[in-house]
């Protein structure tokens, strides 16, 4: 008898990859990183590759609601707190290694910087597997809002921590030029090879049904929004790091100035009650609306019934909600930040303001110009086609292939970047 092979070994022989994604957050949790992982996994599997996820047990309650998935390995975890819905995992390395061997894993891809990232690095080293990471978060912008006594911590200390977290990865994926430029600075990790692979949206999954005009009108009525009002939309975490208080001030000015304007905030977070209270005190709670949490599968309807998407956040790496707005054909107005340079093309599908005052002025311009709004929206749809999940998956695979072929020798960053960029030309 000849040698016997598992189906995962057969897949590798046929040219399909066996990939492990590590994260401190996964379904049923809802956030940008989870969305990226779920969509990437789906696209990679559709191409014939085998993907497993190593993550945390979100909570005892989640065991009742999350689907039973044999390709997801969960470790014991406790809530992180600090105003977040995240969990701290306690990896059982031997069990994880047995799981990875069972699935004949060839590459480990971390989508976190914390406990599961440490597990990914140590397990990758022990199993002699290349271990890479995606840089999802700009911690210099976030730590002030989530670490107790953060103002006593110098930014140099945060840089040192982030550097320590990432320095043992074989290579990095940056989701934007902003992320790449940050990690290439002399005080960070310029020596680690990296490429830029922007986030993407699974358009088919996001727009899972076409809303009729009557359905969109009914949704407006559900929120007491007049049919002829211009609706401004923000989707995201209602937290200080998103500068939602500053956006609220802009919204207050605009709804006072324009009788037929409504501002819609979609999401939850620690600033939600404070913002609701403020709008109630000035009797604008019928014009500035807070939806709270919405299921991702329903979000497209809120984009579809809106007219302009806006955010003044300066802490993004590569905003998923902006990509969703583009997919929905909305003009977009943001602050001028390099994380938006490839999605919000100034004067083409929206505007990037150098200040909050400029953002307000650009919103006013679009509120009063229906033709420009329509033209910008059409341009947004065209731009969205550059960020399909299929393109994202192909670029990621090109990166994986270069990493697997080079490991354990140094990765040629220039050739790898060229291989990833070549996907756009296909």
Tracing tokens 């819609």 back to the chain, one arrives at 264
Asked if residue 189 has pLDDT above 60, the reply is yes
Place of tokens 């992320």: 179
As a whole number, mean pLDDT of residues 172-189 equals 96
Look-up of token digits 């921590």: 161
In the chain, helix, strand, coil percent, each to 5?
45, 15, 35
Per-residue pLDDT of 139-164, as tens digits, reads 887 777 766 666 778 889 989 999 99
Kindly report, residue by residue over 96-117, the tens digit of the pLDDT.
Answer: 999 999 999 999 999 998 889 9
| Domain segments of the chain as ranges | 7-200+389-425, 203-387
3-class secondary-structure state, position 228: coil
Whether 33 contacts 86, CB under 8 Å: no
Please tell me the distance from the alpha carbon of residue 52 to that of residue 21, in angstroms, as a whole number. Answer: 6
pLDDT band at residue 64 using 50, 70 and 90 as cut-offs: low
Q: Can you give the pLDDT at residue 4? A: 47
Q: What is the pLDDT of residue 7?
A: 54
Q: Dig out the tokens for 108 from the structure.
A: 């480990």
Domains 7-200+389-425 and 203-387 share a fold: yes
Q: According to the model, what pLDDT value does residue 290 have?
A: 98
Is the separation of the CB atoms in 166 and 113 below 8 Å? yes
Residue 147's contacts (CB-CB under 8 Å, 6 or more residues apart) are 82, 153
For residue 2, pLDDT beyond 50: no
pLDDT, one tens digit per residue, over 292-344 is 999 888 899 999 999 999 999 999 999 999 999 999 999 999 999 999 999 99
pLDDT of residue 238: 96
Residue 226 confidence (pLDDT): 97
Q: Which CATH architecture has domain 203-387?
A: 3-Layer(aba) Sandwich (3.40)
pLDDT-above-70 percentage for the chain: 92
- Find out if CATH 3.40.50.300 is the number for domain 7-200+389-425: no
Mean pLDDT in the chain?
91
Q: Range with the lowest mean pLDDT among 54-58, 262-266, 406-410?
A: 54-58
Residue 261 has φ and ψ, to the nearest 5°, of: -125, 135
Residue 261 has pLDDT above 90, yes or no: yes
The pLDDT assigned to 10 comes to 46
């Amino acid at each position: 008898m000849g040698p016997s092979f598992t189906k995962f070994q057969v897949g590798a022989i046929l040219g399909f990859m066996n990939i492990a994604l590590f994260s401190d957050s996964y379904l049923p949790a809802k956030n940008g990183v989870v969305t990226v992982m779920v969509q990437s996994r789906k696209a990679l599997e559709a191409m014939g590759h085998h993907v497993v996820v190593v993550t945390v047990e979100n909570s005892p309650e989640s065991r009742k609601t999350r689907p039973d998935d044999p390709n997801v390995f969960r470790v014991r975890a406790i809530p992180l707190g600090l105003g977040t819905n995240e969990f701290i995992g306690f990896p059982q390395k031997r069990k994880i290694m047995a799981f990875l061997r069972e699935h004949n894993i060839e590459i480990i891809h971390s989508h976190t910087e914390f406990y599961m990232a440490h597990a990914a690095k140590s397990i990758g080293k022990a199993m002699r597997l290349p271990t890479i990471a995606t840089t999802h978060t700009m911690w210099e912008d976030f730590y002030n809002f989530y670490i107790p006594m953060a103002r006593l911590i110098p930014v140099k200390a945060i840089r040192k921590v982030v550097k320590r977290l990432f320095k043992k990865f074989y290579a990095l994926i940056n989701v934007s030029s902003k992320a790449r430029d940050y990690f290439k600075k002399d005080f960070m990790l310029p020596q680690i090879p990296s490429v830029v692979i922007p986030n993407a949206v699974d358009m088919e999954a996001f727009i899972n049904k076409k809303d009729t005009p009557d359905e969109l009108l009914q949704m407006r009525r559900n929120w007491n929004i007049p049919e002829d009002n211009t609706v401004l939309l923000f989707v995201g975490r209602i937290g200080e790091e998103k500068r939602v208080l500053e956006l609220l001030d802009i919204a207050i000015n605009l709804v006072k100035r324009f009788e037929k304007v409504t501002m819609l905030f979609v999401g939850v977070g620690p600033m939600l009650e404070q913002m609701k209270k403020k709008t109630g005190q000035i009797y604008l709670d019928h014009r500035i609306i807070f939806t709270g949490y919405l299921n991702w599968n329903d979000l497209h309807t809120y984009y579809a019934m809106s007219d302009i998407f806006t955010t003044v956040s300066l802490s993004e790496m590569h905003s998923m909600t902006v990509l969703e707005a583009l997919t929905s054909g909305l003009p977009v107005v943001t602050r001028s930040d390099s994380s938006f340079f490839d999605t919000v093309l100034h004067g083409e599908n929206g505007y990037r303001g150098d200040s909050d005052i400029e953002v307000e002025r650009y919103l006013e311009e679009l509120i009063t110009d229906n033709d420009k709004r329509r033209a910008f929206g059409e341009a947004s749809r065209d731009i969205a086609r550059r960020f399909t999940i299929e393109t994202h998956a192909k670029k990621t695979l090109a990166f994986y292939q270069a990493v697997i072929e080079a490991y354990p020798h140094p990765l040629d960053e220039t050739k790898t970047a060229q291989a990833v960029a070549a996907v756009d030309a296909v």
